[in-house]
Chains A and B, each alone.
Chain A
Amino acid sequence: MTLANDFGYSTAMSSSFSALHTTVEDRYRKLPNSFWVSSGQELMNNPVPCQSVSGGNSGGYLFPSPSGFCNVSAVSPHGRNSQNQPPLSTVPRERLAMQDCPLEAQPPLLINHHHQEFTDPLPEFFDFSDHVPVQNLQAESSGVRVDSSVELHKKSEWQEWADQLISVDDGSEPNWSELLGDSSSHNPNSEIPTPFLDVRRQEIKANQQQQVVSSEDQLSGKNSSSSVATSKQRMRWTPELHEAFVEAVNQLGGSERATPKAVLKLLNIPGLTIYHVKSHLQKYRTARYKPDTSEVTGEPQEKKMTSIEDIKSLDMKTSVEITQALRLQMEVQKRLHEQLEIQRSLQLQIEKQGRYLQMMFEKQQKIQENKSSSPEASPKQCNGTAAEVEVGLESRTGDQNEPASASRKRVRED
């Protein structure tokens, strides 16, 4: 760049500062709500009545201890609730998804807290043909979950599902049932206000759905190596849980002074073990005292952009180049992410379609077996589907390698 540009740059800068002044403020407001959630923690000192929390706004793990943590979850309403809800309500589903292992014990405890129709979220999860990209799914399911109906689900359905879960021979995940079982004992209705409980129940319900879905997929062919019981269960953290963790650590005097045991006790979250807390605390300490290292490589981040860093110290002009480079990098990353999300939803659609096709194919076969005549029945079934399905059906039957007997066998297994 020429000198003129340099000059132009600095004058542009100064003239834009006033614009920037207001722009920056606007931009602060643009910061995602989650930024302001934690800043609201300063308000923690004054316990806010728990009733002020609307459902779906906080990580459910906080509920079991009415004493300490009402406040943390009460913080979130200070942000913008409506925007927080969609992402947060999907979090429970994944947060609670450890390995794909079903519950093994204590179904009776679960029965007490089941509180909405199980079938609801399940079709949503699979209904990707209508909800592409994935964001839509989140938005929709959040809508479903925030609606808290207090009606208890029928006991019989629970039993059915519980039986299914128990009968599956798979790795033990006692924490699951503990997680849910204990929460039932920790949540006497009289102590915890309704909104909290509703969210908690929604999460339990979501969790249950996960469980059932995964158990259905445990067919005999899949010898899960996770049947080896490990004392250190893999825990899936969420930002909300982490915030609670940070809060607890701060209460205990900071990351250096807080001990895993104390943090565990303070958090009082069923299912959380000292191993989880210990390893998380270790990570947390590392992250705080080495802010320049990437958490992945452990290398100083400067190495990543060496070429740009070297230039940076030289002069103002190149800071523009750096910004450009960063922008470009960001753009490419954004693009990749976009494509990944699209690809993912396509893959899900494909599998869903595949299952559907398979079903149709098997039905067709069954019909052909059972009735020697009525060939018109099967084409009708096929025609009822979308065009792509038809095409898929053609190509599927084209490369369908399995013999008819195998598919018949599968039908019987189902």
Chain B
Amino acid sequence: MKFGKRIKEQIQESLPEWRDKFLRYKELKNLISSPAPAESIFVGLLNTEIDKFNAFFVEQEEDFIIHHKELQSRIQRLVVKCGHNDEMFREEISEIRKDIVNFHGEMVLLVNYSNINYTGLAKILKKYDKRTGGGLRSRFIQKVLHQPFFKTDLVSRLVREWETTMDAVFPVTIVEAEAERCAAVTSAAAGEGIFRNTIAALLTMKEMRRASSTYSAFSLPPLKMSDSDLVLRSVHLSSPIPIP
């Protein structure tokens, strides 16, 4: 039940278009609980879900690739336009900065999407095996590992590229650095969309990896996030976005 709750929360926090693209964990669980869960039906459902993930993931990836190039071009044009005119650069870059951070965030959320769904599949398969005493899990999960939605390397690469780029577009002044240390801006920042979603994702991950009664060789170790805890603790999430 814990994962079911977590994934539900994740879905609630995620961007609107994404909400119906996640794993239908509860439905699958219900199927398993039914008196005679037929493997063919179960597998059929899983495959449908996987197709859904693949389609969504690949499409998002395509959008990201296009956007990635556009953002690059934008920065290049700016660099060329400003030349050595630093003041102009600073002004113009602030707008782009926001876009970069948001773009980075979206891509990370896609990676998170992939991961959550994979985790969900692994868990539901485990439940299935427990219920039926079969060995479906290990066979099926092998297939999942080769699915497009699981192969997040390209998106991760783009994410890392933008992290590198951030140095170039985030000029640091002494005063800024000091001000950051006593920042009280966190509540404002956590208010909306991507950022909120990201925080939720991190918290979910932490929760899910706590040791549980079903801890086994197939379980992930607890999450290590020493300094992130500080970050997270300093963030106060405002009341949840009401679902219409």
Measuring CB to CB, which residues of chain A are less than 8 angstroms from any residue of chain B? Answer: 1, 5, 8-9, 12-13, 16-17, 20-21, 23-24, 27-28, 30-32, 34-35, 38-39, 87, 90-91, 93-95, 97-100, 134, 138, 210, 213-214, 217-219, 221-226, 234-239, 242-243, 246, 280, 283-284, 287-288, 291, 294-298, 301, 303-308, 311, 319-337, 339-341, 343-344, 346-348, 350-351, 353-355, 357-358, 391-393, 395-396, 399, 401-403, 406-407, 410
The 6 A-B residue pairs whose C-beta atoms are closest, nearest first, are A392-B217, A27-B168, A325-B189, A295-B63, A217-B143, A304-B193
A-B contact pairs, 10 of them (CB 8 A): A32-B165, A34-B72, A99-B148, A301-B98, A321-B183, A325-B185, A328-B186, A341-B156, A396-B217, A401-B129
Q: Which of B16, B65, B87, B199 contacts A237 (CB 8 A)?
A: B65
Q: A222-B43, A296-B15, A329-B195 are in contact. List 11 more A-B contacts (CB 8 A).
A: A295-B106, A319-B94, A325-B186, A329-B189, A329-B194, A330-B101, A337-B111, A341-B156, A351-B142, A393-B217, A401-B130
The B interface, classified by DSSP as helix, strand, loop or mixed, is helix
Residues of A within 8 A of B231 (CB): 328, 331-332, 335
A24: min CB distance to chain B, Å: 6
Q: Which of A219, A235, A307, A330 contacts B104 (CB 8 A)?
A: A330
**Residue picked from B55, B69, B87, B175, most chain A C-beta under 10 Å:** B175
B85: min CB distance to chain A, Å: 10
Separation of A391 and B19 alpha carbons in the complex (Å)? 39
The A interface, classified by DSSP as helix, strand, loop or mixed, is helix
A198: min CB distance to chain B, Å: 22
Q: What 0/1 readout, one digit per residue, does chain B (57-79) give for beta carbons within 8 Å of chain A?
A: 01011111111111011111001
A276 and chain B: residue at smallest CB distance: B62
Separation of A296 and B40 alpha carbons in the complex (Å)? 34
- Check if B62 sits within 8 Å of A280, measured CB to CB: yes
Total chain B interface residues with beta-carbon distance under 8 A: 118
Q: A98-B148, A347-B118, A354-B218 are in contact. Are A234 and B55 (CB under 8 A)?
A: yes
B17: min CB distance to chain A, Å: 6
A19: min CB distance to chain B, Å: 9
